[in-house]
Homo-oligomer: A and B are copies of this chain.
Amino acid sequence: MPNPPTGFQHGITLRQAQKIATAALAEGRRLELAPLTVVVLDAAGQLKAMLKEDGCSLMRPAIAHGKAFGAMGLGFGGRELARRAQAMQGFMNAFSDLAGGSAVPVPGGVLVRAANGNILGAVGISGDASDKDEAAAVAAIEAAGLTADTGDSA
């Protein structure tokens, strides 16, 4: 039975989020990355799907959430957040507080966009170096047929 309509559907679907989460971990294994945590947020900023690989250190889930939530909160990928944290340190400190302490301005927070540009949600990955975390997020979003926005212009 399909879920009844409630209006509580914000951007990304469960099917898309599950695809992204499992594809991200598969990409991590393919690239032989350190254990990863992947968080997928919907367009309301809520957890839609989350997976933590065995062996992740304790703060990986929080870091992955902060990467995704920071990107979602400002509507920019993590690379743009990193630039702003350099240029406007006071603002980014305040922004982290506004976000309840969950806003991490580094690569690995990636917006998920539809073909028309609409932001459907965000992915945050933590476990290996930020660039590699980000690569796994981008590969996973594309595997789901969606567009990844890292905060760099293409």
Contact = CB atoms under 8 A, between A and B. Distances in A.
Interface string A62-88: 110010001011110000001001101
Given A89-B90, A114-B7, A32 B1 contact: yes
B75 A6 contact: yes
Interface of A: 1, 3-11, 13-14, 17-18, 25, 29, 32, 34-35, 42-59, 61-63, 66, 70, 72-75, 82, 85-86, 88-106, 113-114, 116-120
Given A5-B116, A6-B57, A62-B99, 10 more contacts: A3-B35, A7-B117, A8-B35, A8-B56, A14-B51, A14-B54, A48-B52, A70-B94, A90-B105, A97-B103
